Structure 1
Amino acid sequence: MPTSPPAATARERRRWARYLVDERAEAEVYRRLAARRTGEERAILLALADAEGRHEAHWLALLGGEPARLPRRSASTVVLGFMAAHFGTVFALALAQNAEARSPYDDDPAATPTMAADERVHHEVVRGLAARGRRRLSGVFRAAVFGANDGLVSNLALVLGIGATGVAPQFVLFSGVAGLLAGALSMGAGEYVSVRSQRELLDAARPSDYADGALGDLDLDANELALVYRTRGMSPDAAEARARDVVGVARDGGSGSLVGPVTDEDEGEVVGGAWRAAGSSFLFFASGAVVPVLPWLFGLSGLPAVLLALALVGLALLATGALVGILSGAPPLARALRQLAIGWGAAAVTYVLGLLFGVSVG
């Protein structure tokens, strides 16, 4: 006579209840995200929520129904739910991607192999959705992080290097403000020139209508028009056929033109306005560069000002590093510490140089 499975221990039931709470929280996150999206992305997110519902049903069955008491949600699921409700989809999806990668089902005998496989697939689905948002955000995000961090690190290095020489606090403040303006103007000017130059390069590469008026006079069987299309990436046969069509249309009195869609012609990524790019770079740099100047701006001097500047910039570097980690799907803490080490390392070099060429800040 077959024996019934042993009764679950209290520890196992607590673990299953934790899984139940987490599955419900993740399903709720996906539904909240779906409410902010339309079309295919909405359908995918709702399908993920349904899958989490199947996992929820598994743990309910093992528990024998709804437990009288459930554990509180973990801190990570609370943060994920808050991000899904109040911030952009890309931030919440990046956190959800990390959550799906930490699934414990591979090592838990109470979870079925199908559930463990589901979680692995969910990780890839969420990563694919997050990748769409990352691509849309990448240009602005790169400029913001690069500009703000450049301002933080360069101006911190400047004020610490000047301050370490023992000069008057007013001179340190003046140097910091000058560094902010000089750096922000340099960033803005550089971005303007970069975007403007890229636009000019694209304009130079774009086909023109210079030869359109002569198309009707070309020899249908012996002309170099096919070479134009070959320079744009067409095969010799396709270029020859296209040339004959264009010349034939022009000779019949039609509106043949060299300007138009051609194979393999890609003008690259969309380029924003030069002035808008310059203004954004100016503001991003200035927002970072003002942080290390704040202690002197509010009247501090000497070692207290140095320590407070280090603390303020350190917090800002940790925040931007963690943000990069979240959006890239990498561990936020590791990226935050990396950002901090780079920023403080650069500032330490200039501070030591200031001590070598001056006196103590104390």
Structure 2
Amino acid sequence: MNTHPADERFSGSEPPSSSDLKRWRQYLADERAEADTYRYLAERREGEERDILLALAEAEGRHEAHWRELLGDDGRREVRATLRNRMLAFLARRFGSVFVLALAQRAEGRSPYSQDPHATSAMAADEQIHEEVVRGLATRGRTRLAGNFRAAVFGANDGLVSNLALVMGIGATGVSSGFILFSGLAGLLAGALSMGAGEYVSVRSQRELLEASRPTQITLDAAKSLDIDANELVLVYRARGMTAEAAEHRAAERMGLYSCDCDPSFSLNPEAEDDGGDDHETVGTGLGAAVSSFCFFASGAIIPVLPYIFGLTGVAAVVLSCVLVGLALLMTGAVVGLLSGASPLKRGLRQLAIGLGAAGATYLLGLLFGTGVA
């Protein structure tokens, strides 16, 4: 009587069913795809991040070996990885961005191994740890993108929602399409200028606050003339937040009385005095922030008026405007979801509901003051 190739590994227990073998083959294919994803990502990185990604790929290889051992000869019957894992591998090979890491983080969090009796407890624990490792790597990428990219996404989203609401509200009053187009373009320009001016004032003010807060180098000139016994230089350092002991050591060192070697934290850093580094690079320039905000807002605000620019009128223009903005809102919401490690679909739908809800409210308000759509 013929026995199944895997029966010998399950002597004394129930042999694997056809559904078990099918599931294991799927696990095997998915582990291979996940290992490939991490290798592709590693190719686009260097240093510590590359080493971490290669270590993750090696761990997925161990999981792959587990399923191959259970399957035996059945492991030769290859199946395709799930669509999600194939897409991840494709994106990692082509792009290798933080978005792929964010998707990989979610994929690791959905591992079925904790509920599968044929997966070892170490494998289930590995997948949980992998989620945290990928989360850490994704966080690095999110941090690098946080400033400019976040401004781009939310600036464009502001333009989408505010100008759609404006177009819908005015359109519902029954005015001509030409008036709607003019109002939409005016809203685009006014909103973009307002955003740009606001960013300029905000960044400029922040830079001026930094200038006002940054310690000056007056102590370098005044220290040599200070009364050593009174030594008001101590007050300068205490005002900057130092303890009394640290301030006394720093003041004495500044005046050339001695060099403190009992606690390195008290000693003077020759490369970066107490005034710290240059925060202006982090803050950016007011003009740069203004131009970026203007462009981001305008890129979103132009979408609701596109149907009117191309000559559509009435209900057709309103519907097409809503569809275009809806697609853009889904996209910006999905991007925010990816960057935050949340579900892109849920974030996209939430963004869509908020945007169209605001537009719908202004449309109803327009109906109260008008006669319907022109």
TM-score by length of 1: 0.93
Does 2:362 correspond to 1:354?
no
Q: Distance in 1 between matches of 2:94 and 2:322?
A: 31
Does 2:205 correspond to 1:193?
no
Aligned to 1:248, the other structure's residue is in SS state coil
How far 1:128 moved relative to its partner? 0.7
What amino acid maps onto 1:8 in structure 2?
Answer: P
Superposed, 1:157-306 pairs within 5 Å as 157-248=165-256, 260-262=272-274, 270-306=282-318
Note if contact 2:29-2:79 (Cα within 8 Å) is conserved in structure 1. Answer: yes
How far 1:348 moved relative to its partner? 0.9
What amino acid maps onto 1:353 in structure 2?
Answer: L
Name which of 32, 37, 40 aligns with 1:32: 40
Q: Distance in 2 between matches of 1:342 and 1:219?
A: 65
What amino acid maps onto 2:39 in structure 1?
Answer: R
How far 1:70 moved relative to its partner? 2.3
Structure 1, residues 336-362: CA drift from partner, whole Å, max 9, x if none?
111011101110111011100011116
Does 2:318 correspond to 1:310?
no
Name which of 336, 341, 349 aligns with 1:329: 341
Find the counterpart in structure 1 of residue 111 from structure 2.
103
Paired residues in the alignment total 356
Q: Distance in 1 between matches of 2:360 and 2:165?
A: 7
How far 1:65 moved relative to its partner? 4.1
Q: Which 4+ residue blocks in structure 1 deviate beyond 4 angstroms?
A: 256-260, 263-269
Note if contact 2:21-2:74 (Cα within 8 Å) is conserved in structure 1. Answer: no
How far 1:258 moved relative to its partner? 12
Q: Distance in 2 between matches of 1:265 and 1:143?
A: 25
How far 1:11 moved relative to its partner? 1.0
Aligned-CA RMSD value: 2.3
Aligned to 2:247, the other structure's residue is in SS state helix
Does 2:53 correspond to 1:10?
no
Note if contact 1:207-1:258 (Cα within 8 Å) is conserved in structure 2. Answer: no
Note if contact 2:215-2:274 (Cα within 8 Å) is conserved in structure 1. Answer: no
Aligned to 1:270, the other structure's residue is in SS state helix
Q: Distance in 2 between matches of 1:121 and 1:213?
A: 56
Note if contact 2:24-2:67 (Cα within 8 Å) is conserved in structure 1. Answer: yes
Aligned to 1:67, the other structure's residue is in SS state helix
Q: Distance in 2 between matches of 1:282 and 1:266?
A: 26
What amino acid maps onto 2:22 in structure 1?
Answer: R
How far 1:301 moved relative to its partner? 0.8
Q: Distance in 2 between matches of 1:150 and 1:56?
A: 46
How far 1:10 moved relative to its partner? 1.3
Note if contact 1:234-1:264 (Cα within 8 Å) is conserved in structure 2. Answer: no
Note if contact 1:232-1:265 (Cα within 8 Å) is conserved in structure 2. Answer: no
Q: Which runs of 5+ in 2 are unaligned?
A: 1-9, 259-267
How far 1:278 moved relative to its partner? 1.3
What amino acid maps onto 1:5 in structure 2?
Answer: S
What amino acid maps onto 1:283 in structure 2?
Answer: C
Note if contact 2:41-2:96 (Cα within 8 Å) is conserved in structure 1. Answer: no
Name which of 105, 115, 123 aligns with 1:115: 123
Q: Distance in 2 between matches of 1:188 and 1:101?
A: 40
Q: Distance in 1 between matches of 2:187 and 2:77?
A: 59
Distance 1:331 1:5, change over 3 A: same
How far 1:81 moved relative to its partner? 1.5
Note if contact 1:220-1:248 (Cα within 8 Å) is conserved in structure 2. Answer: no
Aligned to 1:64, the other structure's residue is in SS state helix
Q: Distance in 1 between matches of 2:269 and 2:53?
A: 46
How far 1:259 moved relative to its partner? 11
Q: Distance in 2 between matches of 1:249 and 1:184?
A: 58
What amino acid maps onto 2:304 in structure 1?
Answer: P
How far 1:221 moved relative to its partner? 1.9
Name which of 60, 72, 81 aligns with 2:80: 72
Q: Distance in 2 between matches of 1:158 and 1:105?
A: 51
